[in-house]
Structure 1
Amino acid sequence: MISKTSLLIVILSLTHFLSDSFKESQLKYTRVRQAYKDKENSMLTLLKSKTLDKNSLKIYIRAFKKEGIIELWGKDKNHSKYSLIKSYDVCSSSGEIGPKRQQGDLQVPEGYYHIDRFNPYSNFYLSLGINYPNRSDEILGVKNKLGGDIFIHGNCVTIGCLPITDDQIKELYIFCIEAKNSGQSTIPVTIFPAKLTDENYKQLIDQYKGSSDKVGLWEDLKKGYDIFNKSKSLPSIAFLSSGRHKVYE
């Protein structure tokens, strides 16, 4: 009969194996190993400056199209409030303000998303897939012509993606690896048309008041923007049958 101590050792060993499995699978790729060689120290320094531990890390990404910025936020998984870790400059853009509604429109999506893929052998160095089209996009976009393959990636070229430099994607990519490796099953990503301060929001609504599609989405994004800026905690998001969102604390 196995002793309680032996059983505990087996459980701890299995837990350690499972927690390391995603990172270890990523480290099989040359570019990921190079990213850790180049950026692990800077990642650890940033985490230390925010009193965060990579072994209990949860992250949140939000992007602002007008400003061309991607923000990386992090927290300990046992706490509720996030702190800003770093901002990255988007180095190329396509399309204009407003959501992506069909393949080939060159638009960068806007809305509530999450990272759904890690591509360590991307044509754009390293890339993090965004789950476009989400449920809202499927309802409001052009049926059967929604497109896909939207990423945060390197190489500073884009048709509807969010590119940053190869140097920056190395760092952001390994942050995401560490968060997933520490047990974060879903890394949320919110893409905004702009920073939705009251002033910016009013300007957008006034400018595009004839577009119920844009105005409705931005109203839902504004709610999430305000909740997060006030509490530094993520809002809850539900997709409605209309394509709109229920956004609440």
Structure 2
Amino acid sequence: MESIDDNRVVEAKRRKEKNLLAELQQLDIKADNLEILFIAVKEAKILEIYVKRKTQKQFRWFKSYLFSTFSGVLGPKKQEGDKQIPEGFYQITHLNPKSKYHLSLGINYPNAYDQANAFTGSAIYIHGGMESVGCIAIGDDAIEEVYVLTEMAQQNGQKDIPVLIYPYTMHAEKHKEMLEITDESTAHFWNILATSYQYFQENKVPLSYEFKGKQIEYLT
């Protein structure tokens, strides 16, 4: 017998899967060769999904969703209970059909960089609903699309689904302005993120990186 949670996912698929497949087909992408990438921009309160075929290098914009609410301020999440949405480079860890907020996708905060810097916190998700304490909330209708698309990518072999979270649109002029009104530590971190943001905007390919203790180093 199906549980209520199973039915929640079944209903999301019934409502969203057909249209998603048709929209992907317009980009010449099928479910069995789909890869996805998330970009969230906190100041703009927007979550973007980019897609590509497995054989392609470059991603293409697919959909954007507005946050349904927002907590915290610009700047990385550093401790449990600070209500901050994290900033940096993350992955989807799991799909949660039993979310308090309809459906949700788990994010691997704290990542290795966060842990090395003694940042604390847990249970960070992209989820539905109209409430958030450090998570990315996009409402029930939007999370159904995001959940179904993510499950589609995972079931067809995408093990690592990137979630790149930036404080603001980090174009050079905007970035320069923001550095002038923040502290030295945050400015250093934002400089690292800006390199990634600008590279993706120019190339539609995520810049490869690795965590080296308390630092993030880019791979060329």
TM-score class normalised by the smaller sequence: over 0.9
Cα offsets for 1:79-132 (capped at 9, x unmatched): 101000000111101100000000011100000000001101111100000000
**Structure (1 or 2) with the greater helix fraction:** 1
Q: Distance in 1 between matches of 2:130 and 2:215?
A: 32
Does residue 246 in structure 1 map to residue 217 in structure 2? yes
- Would you say 1:88 and 2:65 are equivalent positions? yes
TM-score norm. by structure 1 comes to 0.84
Can you list the C-alpha shifts for 1:158-212, whole angstroms capped at 9, x where unaligned?
000000110110000010001111100010001000111112111111111x331
Q: 1:141, CA displacement in angstroms?
A: 3.2
Q: Equivalent residue for 2:184?
A: 211
* Cα distance in 2 for residues equivalent to 1:141 and 1:49: 45
**Equivalent pair of 1:216/1:244 in contact (CA under 8 Å):** no
Matches within 5 A, 1:1-249: 29-142=6-119, 146-208=120-182, 210-212=183-185, 214-241=186-213, 243-249=214-220
2:22 counterpart letter in structure 1 = T
Q: CA deviation at 1:219?
A: 1.1
Distance in 2, matches of 1:211 and 1:106, equals 22
Q: Which amino acid aligns with 1:156?
A: M
| TM-score, normalising length: structure 2 | 0.95
Please report the RMSD computed on the Cα atoms of aligned residues, expressed in angstroms: 1.6
Q: How many residues align?
A: 218
Instruction: Name segments (4+ residues, structure 1) moved above 3 Å.
Output: none
CA offset at residue 147 of structure 1? 1.4
The aligned amino acid for 1:177 is E
- Bigger Rg, structure 1 or 2: 1
Residue aligned with 1:222, SS: helix
Question: Structure 2: which 5+ runs fail to align?
Answer: none
